[in-house]
Amino acid sequence: MCIVAFAWHVLDDMPLCLISNRDEFYHRPSAVLHRWDNSSIIAGQDLQSGGAWMGVTESGRWAIVTNFRNGRDKNQYSTSRGHLIQSFLESDLAPIRFAQQLEQQQQDYAGFNLFVGDREQAVYMSNRGEAPQVLANGVYVVSNGLMSEDWEKTKHLRKRFTQEFLPMLQQLKITESDLQYSVWDILEDERKIIPDLLPDTGISVEMEELLSSTFIQSPIYGTRCSNFLRMTSEHWQWLEKSQQGEQQGRIIEMQVDLLK
């Protein structure tokens, strides 16, 4: 998962509203959004390492991870970041307690940004420079740098999310089709950032520019799926749009009632 924007306790009757793109190598096998066998998890799944990039449960738990990009880090890590999602969703720890415990083993993972939450609490941490912190109500946007760095890429998504999309959600007569059109238009934005404003993450300027758009396309790597997730007091509504291969454009919708 490479970019995410969400509103946390900003909208009436919608504690969480989240949009995101998952970027990955095209050859890496994965499963689409589904309810996992013998598990409470609802998520897509990485079939290479077994984890997930985001997921939810009927109890109202949710989690999403993005990679922290550092081209200078040549270390090998045996533990998949995707298992962070699974571990949190299958636990019963409060989000902040889970993050604090994870902090003791965070060196076992390649760089990540992690958001974990339930109905009342949302927490952010990164094992590359951000200790676990409980989030205040507000809008948050993260890509592959620290949340505090606020790249031009995340500024651009934040602007579109807050100025275009969130006001639509508050319109009384807005249709579901209009909402979805807006989400996919924002997440499929291929606008590149000019070289002078690119971050330095230890890769070439050409690669930085390729990765600087919300929606990424290249011969071997790019945006694999886009997500629109909403939590109300009663249910989850999750739309996952495939962005690759024969299934490109296919939308899977899951509505999951929350446990009382």
- Assign 26 a pLDDT band (cuts: 50, 70, 90): very high
User: Residue 99 contacts by C-beta under 8 Å, 6 or more apart in sequence?
Assistant: 114, 116, 123, 125, 132
Q: Are 85 and 52 in contact (CB under 8 A)?
A: yes
Q: Are 53 and 71 in contact (CB under 8 A)?
A: no
Is 172 buried (19+), middle (13-18) or exposed (0-12) by CB count in 10 A?
exposed
- Assign 260 a pLDDT band (cuts: 50, 70, 90): confident
In 3D, which of 138, 135, 92 has the Cα closest to residue 259? 92
Instruction: Kindly state the tokens that stand for 96.
Output: 């902040």
Please write the tens of the pLDDT for every residue from 187-226.
999 999 999 999 999 999 999 999 999 999 999 999 999 9
**Residue with tokens 């009382």, as numbered in its chain:** 260
- Assign 78 a pLDDT band (cuts: 50, 70, 90): confident
Q: What is the mean pLDDT of residues 116-129?
A: 97
In 3D, which of 119, 118, 166 has the Cα closest to residue 140? 166
Average pLDDT of every residue of the chain: 96
201 Cα distance to chain centroid: 20
Rama region for 202: left / alpha / beta (φ>0; ψ in -120 to 50; rest): left
Give the CA count within 13 Å in the CB-facing half-sphere of 81. Answer: 21
Please write the tens of the pLDDT for every residue from 139-180.
999 999 999 999 999 999 999 999 999 999 988 789 999 999
Please write the tens of the pLDDT for every residue from 89-106.
999 999 999 999 999 999
- Alpha carbons 147 and 126: distance in angstroms, whole number: 9
pLDDT of the residue at 173: 87
Please write the tens of the pLDDT for every residue from 46-67.
999 999 999 999 999 999 999 9
- Alpha carbons 147 and 150: distance in angstroms, whole number: 6
Q: With a cut of 80, say whether residue 1 has pLDDT above it.
A: no
Rg of the chain in Å (alpha carbons): 17
* Percent of the chain residues topping a pLDDT of 70: 100
- Alpha carbons 114 and 233: distance in angstroms, whole number: 24
pTM: 0.96
